[in-house]
């Protein structure tokens, strides 16, 4: 006699077989949607920049020196670096113990080159470090940017230090702004070990200049946990903005496709970009301006969609009057379908980004403020290819598969139950 367990197992196996007969086909269709010959995503790059200056001898982190805490944290981080991440280690103040400022301010080098990670070699290199000299943060950031050059991968510098830069007038905050202005899509995160107010202000400025984060560290586990988080974040797939340069007029503006773009805009300036929109499509755009330096209160950003003849179509705007890191606005422009369904003539729409920022005395206005422009063009609601079937978007096929699988499973279960009862009556 067929037992209940065997019967249930048989039904489950049948349903699983049926489902796998359908679902792999869907997966294959999804994979086939990728362009043929598309290159694999470039490996993300991370450069850990470690302060090895004399002040790292101070023993105030969990009863041990700052250097010992950093070494312990690095060992833990190196054990958990994702395989796809190319990682390097750069030092500052690790080699020159003397008093010659000119020499001390050049004391930065790549301890372990950015590339595929050999954990044993990297740990051995870190183990040799001893607190030594100056704190040339600016030169170290310049060196790290060079370490990460090349390719289109995600790039991140993680700076760990316990003090201010001692090599002025090369301001590390200005170095970070220059790196951002180069459009190389590089983020700098900073971690301050037991920081004082001046160190905190400088590290915050460096991070904000490139859209990074600042973290104050008091304990070893905080340091290792934060560095691990930042390395993992570099490995996450993200949209990499493309550098572009807007112009003062629509006629000479760059032609942009849907995507994410970065630019720099001077104080109280406006810049233009062009986008093509087909009949029946909807243009969706947003503009964000970062405040990477001190600005006067009362400011705003405006995004306008304008025709080729200068007529405003729609606008979005946002204003503020206090300290903030980012201000954003957006707009949507649905272009009506053409009377002739075969008309595929695009309309060139001009997007104008304007700002009303001003700077106080002594604030550098060059390079301009960082701008991020997000552009998308989608089919309008009257276009069948973009309509959400059953209100579920393109996931309707999965619902249909589940419903069909449940129906077949119910029919099979009913048939087996009737057969089982018939066998029982016969016996």
Going from the N-terminus, what domains does the chain have, and what CATH number goes with each? 45-235 (3.40.50.410), 242-385 (2.60.120.380)
For residue 419, the model assigns a pLDDT of: 74
Q: What is the mean pLDDT of residues 408-427?
A: 73
For residue 29, the model assigns a pLDDT of: 35
Q: What is the mean pLDDT of residues 52-80?
A: 95
Q: What is the mean pLDDT of residues 142-152?
A: 90
- Closest by CA position to 177, among listed 326, 49, 291: 291
Integer Cα distance of 360 and 342 in angstroms: 56
For residue 28, the model assigns a pLDDT of: 34
Q: Which two tokens stand for residue 33?
A: 């949607």
For residue 396, the model assigns a pLDDT of: 52
Find how far residue 56's CA is from the centre of its chain: 31
Instruction: Please determine, for residue 124, whether its predicted confidence score (pLDDT) is greater than 50.
Output: yes
- Could you tell me if 97 and 56 are in contact, meaning their C-beta atoms sit under 8 angstroms apart? no
pLDDT band for 23, please (50, 70, 90 cuts): very low
Q: Which two tokens stand for residue 149?
A: 């050059």
For residue 175, the model assigns a pLDDT of: 93
- Could you tell me if 375 and 261 are in contact, meaning their C-beta atoms sit under 8 angstroms apart? yes
- Could you tell me if 275 and 283 are in contact, meaning their C-beta atoms sit under 8 angstroms apart? yes
pLDDT band for 406, please (50, 70, 90 cuts): confident
Instruction: Please determine, for residue 38, whether its predicted confidence score (pLDDT) is greater than 50.
Output: no
Q: What is the mean pLDDT of residues 342-364?
A: 89
Q: What is the mean pLDDT of residues 277-297?
A: 88
Instruction: Please determine, for residue 11, whether its predicted confidence score (pLDDT) is greater than 80.
Output: no
Classify the C-alpha dihedral 122-123-128-131 as positive or negative. Answer: positive
- Closest by CA position to 144, among listed 133, 159, 128: 159
Integer Cα distance of 330 and 96 in angstroms: 52
Q: What is the mean pLDDT of residues 257-286?
A: 92
Q: Which two tokens stand for residue 1?
A: 């006699």
Residue the block writes with tokens 């996931």: 395
- Closest by CA position to 108, among listed 144, 66, 156: 144
Instruction: Please determine, for residue 382, whether its predicted confidence score (pLDDT) is greater than 90.
Output: no
Find how far residue 289's CA is from the centre of its chain: 16
- Closest by CA position to 275, among listed 299, 253, 303: 253
- Closest by CA position to 213, among listed 191, 189, 232, 229: 189
- Range among 32-36, 254-258, 288-292 with highest mean pLDDT value: 254-258
Instruction: Please determine, for residue 304, whether its predicted confidence score (pLDDT) is greater than 90.
Output: yes
- Closest by CA position to 123, among listed 114, 108, 111: 111
Instruction: Please determine, for residue 40, whether its predicted confidence score (pLDDT) is greater than 90.
Output: no
DSSP 202-256: HHHHHHHHTT--EEEE-SHHHHHHHHHHHHHHHHS--PPPEE---BSSSTTPPB-
The mean predicted confidence, pLDDT, of the chain is 82
Instruction: Please determine, for residue 266, whether its predicted confidence score (pLDDT) is greater than 80.
Output: yes
Integer Cα distance of 303 and 305 in angstroms: 7
Q: Which two tokens stand for residue 191?
A: 């971690």
Integer Cα distance of 374 and 377 in angstroms: 10
For residue 425, the model assigns a pLDDT of: 66
For residue 398, the model assigns a pLDDT of: 61
For residue 366, the model assigns a pLDDT of: 82
User: What's phi and psi for 208, nearest 5 deg?
Assistant: -65, -30
Instruction: Please determine, for residue 19, whether its predicted confidence score (pLDDT) is greater than 60.
Output: no
Question: For residue 390, what are the contacts with CB-CB under 8 A and spacing of at least 6?
Answer: 396, 399
Integer Cα distance of 200 and 173 in angstroms: 12
Q: What percent of the chain has pLDDT over 70?
A: 82
For residue 381, the model assigns a pLDDT of: 55
Instruction: Please determine, for residue 10, whether its predicted confidence score (pLDDT) is greater than 80.
Output: no
CA 129 to each of CA 77, 110, 111: distance values in angstroms, whole numbers, following the listed order = 17, 13, 10
Integer Cα distance of 34 and 20 in angstroms: 22
Among the residue ranges 26-35, 68-77, 216-225, 252-261, the one predicted with the least confidence is 26-35
Integer Cα distance of 295 and 299 in angstroms: 9
Q: Which two tokens stand for residue 376?
A: 């998308």
For residue 402, the model assigns a pLDDT of: 72
Read off the pTM: 0.56
For residue 237, the model assigns a pLDDT of: 58
For residue 190, the model assigns a pLDDT of: 94
């Amino acid at each position: 006699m067929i037992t209940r367990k065997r019967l249930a197992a048989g039904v489950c196996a049948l349903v699983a077989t049926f489902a796998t007969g359908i679902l792999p086909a869907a997966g294959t269709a999804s994979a086939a949607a990728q362009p043929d010959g598309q290159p694999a995503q470039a490996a993300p790059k991370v450069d850990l920049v470690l302060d090895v200056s004399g002040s790292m001898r101070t023993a105030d982190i969990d009863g041990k020196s700052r250097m010992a805490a950093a070494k312990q944290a690095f060992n833990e981080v190196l054990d958990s670096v994702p395989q796809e991440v190319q990682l390097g280690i750069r030092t500052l103040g690790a080699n020159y113990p003397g008093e010659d400022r000119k020499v001390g301010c050049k004391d930065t080098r790549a301890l372990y080159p950015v590339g595929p990670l050999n954990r044993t070699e990297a740990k051995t290199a870190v183990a040799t470090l001893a607190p030594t000299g100056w704190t040339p943060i600016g030169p170290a950031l310049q060196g790290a940017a060079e370490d990460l050059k090349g390719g289109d991968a995600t790039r991140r510098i993680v700076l760990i230090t316990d003090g201010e830069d001692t090599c002025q007038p090369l301001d590390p905050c200005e170095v970070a702004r220059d790196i951002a202005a180069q459009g190389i899509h590089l983020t700098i995160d900073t971690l301050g070990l037991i920081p004082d107010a001046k160190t905190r202000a400088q590290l915050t400025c460096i991070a904000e200049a490139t859209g990074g984060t600042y973290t104050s560290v008091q304990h070893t586990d905080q340091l290792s946990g934060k560095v691990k988080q930042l390395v993992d974040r570099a490995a996450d797939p993200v949209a990499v903005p493309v550098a572009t340069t807007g112009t003062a007029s629509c006629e000479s503006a760059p032609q942009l496709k849907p995507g994410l773009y970065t630019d720099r805009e001077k104080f109280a300036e406006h810049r233009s970009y062009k986008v093509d929109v087909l009949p029946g499509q909807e243009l969706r755009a947003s503009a964000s301006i970062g405040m990477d330096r001190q600005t006067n209160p009362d400011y705003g950003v405006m995004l306008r969609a304008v025709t080729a003849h200068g007529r405003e179509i729609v606008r979005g705007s946002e204003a503020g009057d206090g300290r903030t890191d980012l201000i954003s606005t957006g707009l949507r422009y649905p272009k009506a379908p053409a009377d002739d369904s075969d008309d595929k003539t695009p309309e060139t729409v001009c997007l104008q980004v304007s700002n009303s920022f001003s700077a106080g005395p002594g604030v550098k206005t060059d390079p301009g403020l960082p701008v991020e422009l997000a552009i998308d063009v989608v089919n309008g609601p009257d276009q069948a290819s973009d309509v959400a079937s059953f209100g579920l978007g393109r996931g309707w096929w999965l619902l249909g598969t589940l419903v069909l699988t449940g129906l077949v499973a119910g029919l099979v279960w009913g048939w087996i139950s009737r057969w089982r009862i018939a066998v029982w009556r016969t016996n």
